[in-house]
Amino acid sequence: MKVCVFQPLTVDLDVKPIIILDESNYQKEQKIEKQKQEELKKRNVVPRERIYKESIEIIGESNVNNCVEFVKQETGIDRTLGNGARNAIQGTTPQVGAIGVLRGRPHAVIVLAIAGDEITIKESNYIKNKITKRILPLTDFLGFVYF
């Protein structure tokens, strides 16, 4: 048979806990993020979750609520391009002035510049009623429409 012996717990009442009043790491990160977003807002740049180069530039207002209609107006194409221009893809090599078709959610854009694997694009309605410019990696494209 085992016998357990308990000793009484002693508490030193002269010791006072130290409480440090400071922001948590999470609060500090949130504060920094808010400051960054306020600075970007002042410069007319909207941060997005998953965007190459981490931001997109608003370059105008759009009265066209459809990306395909916007690229058709900008390029002068009058033929049918399909949902996000997916039905009209002609190749996978980017060209300045071509219509880019993005992977994932159907979306059509205009290619403004090419620098290696980085494609600068212009688009409408990525942000509702805005014309925006951003830089995307070539891997984000399903294909291109040439005219």
**Whole-model pTM?**
0.63
Domain boundaries, the chain: 58-145
> In this predicted structure, what is the pLDDT of residue 20?
66
Query: For residue 91, what is the DSSP state?
Result: B
In CATH terms, the fold of domain 58-145 is SH3 type barrels. (2.30.30)
Q: Kindly state the tokens that stand for 26.
A: 């999470």
Q: Look up residue 62 and give its two tokens.
A: 């759009």
What CA–CA distance (Å, rounded) separates 118 from 95?
A: 12
Rg of the chain taking only CA atoms, in angstroms? 27
Which tens digits make up the pLDDT trace of 53-107?
A: 456 889 999 888 899 999 999 999 988 888 888 889 999 999 999 999 998 888 9
Does the pLDDT at position 40 exceed 80?
no
- The predicted pLDDT at position 41 comes to 67
